[in-house]
Amino acid sequence: MTIKEIAQLAGVSRMTVSNVINKKYSKVSKTTIEKVNAIIKENNYIPNLSARNLSAQSSKIIAIIVPLVYGNDSLFSDPYTAQIVGILENNLRNKGYFAMIRSVKALSDTVTFLNSWNIDGAIFIFPKPEINVNQLLKQVSTEIVFIDSYQEVENSLSINIDDYKGTYLATKYLIEKGHTKIGFAAPKRSNNLMELRYRGYEDALKQSKINFDSSFFFDSDISLLSGIKIGEKIAKQKKLTAVITTADVVAIGIIDGARSEKCRIPDDLSVIGFDNLTIANYCYPKLTTVNQDINKKAELAISLLFDRIEKKNELPNKIKLDVSLIERESVKPLN
Amino acid sequence: MTIKEIAQLAGVSRMTVSNVINKKYSKVSKTTIEKVNAIIKENNYIPNLSARNLSAQSSKIIAIIVPLVYGNDSLFSDPYTAQIVGILENNLRNKGYFAMIRSVKALSDTVTFLNSWNIDGAIFIFPKPEINVNQLLKQVSTEIVFIDSYQEVENSLSINIDDYKGTYLATKYLIEKGHTKIGFAAPKRSNNLMELRYRGYEDALKQSKINFDSSFFFDSDISLLSGIKIGEKIAKQKKLTAVITTADVVAIGIIDGARSEKCRIPDDLSVIGFDNLTIANYCYPKLTTVNQDINKKAELAISLLFDRIEKKNELPNKIKLDVSLIERESVKPLN
DNA sequence: TTGTATGCGTTATCAT
DNA sequence: ATGATAACGCATACAA
């Protein structure tokens, strides 16, 4: 069923039908509107968006680009990403847009994808260092909002959190509770994210004149498995009384790994997470963690994207969200 | 950059360029192929898929339709859905398709969505009773594979698991361990899923001549919160020694809720989950649960969908996957 | 208020 | 081996 057929049934031109569909009522008489609408309904006519988009040079599609976790089949190994994507879809749908999700490996993949469809905008979650944001923006005309990008690119749109503050708060909190042997589990690959979180940790130590020992550092992926290995190692070494992480999933992994080596949590080892995922409140012990407002992050990404798509330009290029420490049960005071 | 421009630059017709792009090499000379390819590369030409799809009447888009959880902003409140969607996207991308995700509330939403784009196929995860599969199939020409559909519709394509066996195994296991006061937490709304899982539970009880008491039943959503409330209730009542659930998230919620009422798990209450999510292995205590192969489920959905899209018709309409019980630490023997 | 012509970028068909 | 024409379904610009 096409506009043409509807037009024939209604005995009007295609344009009249088109105007009815697009509610350009000033251009059509009431009688015609009603007649056409009746026929549209009767025939269950639904506009062909491929055609509309070709004509309009705009697709009403927003791309959601997510990192492809190497060695993993699923994009959503991390519930953090899943939660964001869910909120994005919800907001986009309510705005009359469509959400196309795509995982990408390389810059060229990304460019091809974004230029293939007349994509109206994109939200890119955690662009890995392999994908150079600067290059990407040069090769693509789509508006892109980056969530958790730690490539500092002027003029790029991004939503981040105060990473420095997050680890700073966590470390400070442990120190207040009497801990001095505080491990730090984070991905090693140097990027700004890690730089910031590392500095937060380091500065808090320094302020209390605690020496950083390189054996305090544990290279981790953002995965349970990675956490488990670190937990086992920490339990065997018996050198630390506490450890902070850069993701709740890692923290939960550490707890599990340490426990398997007879290390009690938090009695023998205090653990602090990062993200405040839903599960952080239901694992055992309930996880003391750095809270970030994931929902707000996703919603702001949408706001910023549409601020630019609609050329309002009211919001700043870079938005940084605050974090806070949530006290639960995975930290034991030593004093 | 369009085909037309490439054609002009190369001094050939649009069709020749099109043939090169689509690798119809029998129709183009080697020299031309090379010349055209060079110009394409040089200009970073990328085909416009909107146009291609309009022409081809096919979009290379596969819709992933997920249930909208009422009162929840995120589609992926449940990691189970997130995992499936991740695997689907991965498989689709590898096949050269695009994944459009969409949550739907009503039948009409769904029909409009599927008919708007020239969508090549759809995978529908857990169609709620509100969306009548039979009606849907009548109003849509797209091939749809249903995952976890409990509306029995002849000729519809579906991937399910052996729900009856799942709860049967769980209940039987508890009985073997000496439990007789076994609760059952599941969504009450009557549909086939619940019917099947309920019967598995009930039959196992019957076979051991254990009477079912209506107070053993707890109406639950598939959510942590729902589990928590049930856990609290069970702990307060102190009537049960064990409870089985229809989702790991509910089981984890129950553990948390019961624990908050000083009920020790598994000492005072044994709990069995359902799904064997990743987290089931890392919560505390590690969850004894009914395992289903989520990855295989998603992969089979893709296989079945493309079996029909490509008109091979080698696979059966309905595929039912086996389940098994995974023994971990959330059940304590009473004998 | 309604209709006509044209273009969006691609591909199928049919000539040459 | 290459090219001309039409078609996919819709919307913009302009004419009547």
**Domain B163-292 classification at class level:** alpha beta
Q: Encoding tokens for residue B2?
A: 């369009």
Q: What is the 3-state secondary structure (H, E, C) of A311-323?
A: CCCCCCCEEEECC
Q: How far out from the chain centre does Cα A236 lie?
A: 35
Closest among B212, B219, B324 to B272, alpha carbons compared: B324
The pLDDT assigned to B213 comes to 87
**Residues facing A101 on adjacent strands:** A64, B99
Q: Do B76 and A85 touch (CB under 8 A)?
A: yes
Q: Do A50 and B59 touch (CB under 8 A)?
A: yes
Tens digits of residue pLDDT in B61-92: 999 999 886 555 566 667 888 889 999 999 99
Tell whether A59 is within 8 A of chain B (Cβ).
Answer: yes
Mean pLDDT, residues B285-295 taken together: 96
Tell whether B56 is within 8 A of chain A (Cβ).
Answer: no
Q: Which residues contact B17 (CB under 8 A, 6 or more apart)?
A: B3, B6, B7, B10, B36, B40
| Chain B residues 10 to 49 with C-beta below 7 Å from nucleic strand D | 11-16, 19, 26-29, 31-32
In total, chain B counts a number of residues equal to 335
Tens digits of residue pLDDT in B8-19: 999 999 999 999
What's B92's DSSP letter? H
Measure the CA dihedral B307/B308/B314/B318, to 10°: 100
Q: How many CB atoms lie within 10 A of CB A106?
A: 12
Predicted confidence (pLDDT) at residue B218 exceeds the cutoff of 90: yes
Q: How many CB atoms lie within 10 A of CB A188?
A: 11
C-alpha to C-alpha distance for A101 and B100, rounded to whole angstroms: 6
Residue A14 CA and nucleotide D13 C1' are separated, in Å, by 15
Give this prediction's pTM. 0.93
Give me the phi and psi of B219, to 5 degrees please. Answer: -75, 125
Tell whether B202 is within 8 A of chain A (Cβ).
Answer: no
The pLDDT assigned to B200 comes to 95
| Lowest-pLDDT range of A75-79, B64-68, B177-181, B227-231 | A75-79
Same fold, B61-161+295-321 and B163-292: yes
Q: Which stretches in chain A have pLDDT values below 50?
A: none
| Contact between the CB of B260 and strand D at under 7 Å | no
The pLDDT assigned to B175 comes to 98
Residue A89 CA and nucleotide C2 C1' are separated, in Å, by 40
Residue A5 CA and nucleotide C2 C1' are separated, in Å, by 17
Chain D positions under 7 Å from a protein CB? Answer: 1-5, 7-13
Q: How far is A113 from chain B (nearest CA, A)?
A: 9
Residue B216 CA and nucleotide D10 C1' are separated, in Å, by 59
C-alpha to C-alpha distance for A218 and A168, rounded to whole angstroms: 17
Spell out the alpha helix ranges (H) of chain B: 3-10, 14-21, 30-42, 49-56, 79-94, 107-116, 133-139, 163-176, 192-207, 224-237, 248-260, 294-309
Specify the pairing of strand B242-245 against strand B182-186: parallel
Chain B residue closest to A287 (CA)? B283
The pLDDT assigned to B189 comes to 65
Q: Do B74 and A53 touch (CB under 8 A)?
A: no
Closest among B307, B326, B328 to B317, alpha carbons compared: B307
| Contact between the CB of A13 and strand D at under 7 Å | no
- Each domain of chain A, given as residue ranges in start order, spans 3-55, 61-161+295-321, 163-292
Q: Do A46 and B115 touch (CB under 8 A)?
A: yes
Q: What is the CATH number of domain B3-55?
A: 1.10.260.40
Which residue type is seen at A279?
I
Tens digits of residue pLDDT in B19-76: 999 999 999 999 999 999 999 999 999 999 999 999 999 999 999 999 886 555 566 6
Closest among A99, A103, A93, A94 to A61, alpha carbons compared: A99
Which residue type is seen at B153?
V
As a whole number, the mean pLDDT across chain B is 93
Ramachandran area for residue A275 (φ above 0: left; ψ -120 to 50: alpha; else beta): left
| Contact between the CB of A312 and strand D at under 7 Å | no
The pLDDT assigned to B80 comes to 87
Tens digits of residue pLDDT in B301-313: 999 999 999 999 9
Tens digits of residue pLDDT in B163-174: 999 999 999 999
Picking from B44, B89, B284, the nearest residue to A283 by CB comes out as B284
The pLDDT assigned to B75 comes to 62
Q: What is the CATH number of domain A61-161+295-321?
A: 3.40.50.2300
The pLDDT assigned to A278 comes to 86
